[in-house]
Amino acid sequence: MATIYLENVVKRYGDVLAVDNLSLEIKDGSFTTLLGPSGCGKTTTLRMIAGLEEPTSGTIKTDHQVFYSSQDGLFLPPGKRNLGLVFQSYALWPHMTVWDNIAFGLKVKKMDPGSIKKTITHISELLQIEQLLQRYPSELSGSQQQRVALARVLASKPEILLLDEPLSNLDAKLRMDMRAELKRLHHETGATVIYVTHDQLEALTMSTMVAVMNEGIVRQYAPPLDIYFNPADTFVADFVGNPKINLIPAKLQAQDGQTHIDMGFLRLRVQDNPYPGVENIVVGIRPEHIKLSRVSQASPSTFQVFSILPAGAETYVRIVRDNLYLTVRIDGLTDLKSDELVKVTFDLDLVRVFEQKSGNRLSLSIANAVLEGHVG
């Protein structure tokens, strides 16, 4: 198969700008996820790739075929896109049993009955629908219908798989199992998967590339851990990660040839400052990159423990100071108690800085922490 290119793709529905000048290169063999909140344009993008929706303008093509080009007035219907794709949807054929729903595509491909039986047996075990094969879609729960739809798609082994929130109706355990199965399947088949989800954990754990979208715009397109550790802006930083990243208002201050980030309770010295005009910034630090130490005396740098949330493998501690709440993740358990005083230390390599106004990441590296507790 081939890489898929989306170039300056726009989709309007009347006044609604669903997809705003989107450009993406979806690499052959990748597991690419479109991630973003409800209404950000994920499904619309997927449907335009499939040919189920015609863009308002732009180009969609592979190395071999132009799917759509507004400039050349070209629109290739879904069936001719040579995608070998099956679009995931709930639309099971109501007059066919589960077995026949899954077998249909295989019969069209002229698979022999023995192989069909083998394929369906395997896939129905995988998706835990063996008991349902003789039922009709109307006799299934939402989760069961979703699994049958997924079984039907996976059984035909398409080279490009377009999946729109295929696990949304499954319970937590089944969803976890299915993530592992889908990732394994991608590994085994080398298919190109384009996956839509609003679940950041699903995107991080399964994908080779993630496009984080908001309001029809791709905010960042990068490998998942890059998205997590080096978010391009405060939207991406905030959307990815659970519990959320701490975003702390701060000032960038130049003095005597040195630049500091001043958060009130902590000052960090910056190595070089290529942003002389910027003053108002936001410091981003993830809960697992803050350390707490108990102190006995209150000072301008101390926080108070607000609440403790033990979860077994980890504990989340909320701390507060002057109306600023931070979330800290501690491995395992803690003997800290509510109302105790603590001091924070940041993992300086993992501090990220954003301009307050635009929300965009500033490339600043931290040299060291100075004058803790000194209120500037």
Ligand X SMILES: Nc1ncnc2c1ncn2[C@@H]1O[C@H](COP(=O)(O)OP(=O)(O)OP(=O)(O)O)[C@@H](O)[C@H]1O
Cis peptide before 287 (omega within 30 of 0): no
Measured at CB, which residue is nearest to Mg ion?
A: 43
Closest distance of CB 90 from Mg ion, Å:
13
What would the x/- binding string for Mg ion be over residues 275 to 294, using CB under 5 A? Answer: --------------------
Question: At a CB cut-off of 8 Å and minimum separation 6, what does 310 contact?
Answer: 333, 334
Check binding of 43 to Mg ion (CB under 5 A).
yes
Closest distance of CB 93 from Mg ion, Å:
23
Check binding of 169 to Mg ion (CB under 5 A).
no
Compare residues 163 and 281 and give the one whose CB is closer to Mg ion: 163
Q: Which of Mg ion, ligand X, none is residue 18 near (CB under 5 to 8 Å by kind)?
A: ligand X
Closest distance of CB 55 from ligand X, Å:
12
Compare residues 159 and 165 and give the one whose CB is closer to Mg ion: 165
One residue of 32, 33, 44, 207 binding ligand X per CB under 6 A = 44
Compare residues 18 and 191 and give the one whose CB is closer to ligand X: 18
Q: Which of ligand X, Mg ion, none is residue 186 near (CB under 5 to 8 Å by kind)?
A: none
One residue of 13, 90, 93, 325 binding ligand X per CB under 6 A = 13
Closest distance of CB 73 from Mg ion, Å:
28
Compare residues 43 and 208 and give the one whose CB is closer to ligand X: 43
Tokens read off for 90: 């709930």
Check binding of 168 to Mg ion (CB under 5 A).
no
Check binding of 219 to ligand X (CB under 6 A).
no
Closest distance of CB 162 from Mg ion, Å:
12
Closest distance of CB 331 from Mg ion, Å:
36
Helix pair 142-155, 113-126: axis angle to 10 deg: 140
Tokens read off for 68: 């759509």
Residue list 189-218, contact with ligand X (CB under 6 A): 198
Q: Which of Mg ion, ligand X, none is residue 38 near (CB under 5 to 8 Å by kind)?
A: ligand X
Number of residues that bind Mg ion (CB under 5 A): 1
What would the x/- binding string for ligand X be over residues 123 to 152, using CB under 6 A? Answer: ------------------------------
Closest distance of CB 54 from ligand X, Å:
12
Distance CA 324, CA 12 (A): 41
Residues that bind ligand X (CB under 6 A): 13, 16, 18, 36, 38-44, 198
Residues that bind Mg ion (CB under 5 A): 43
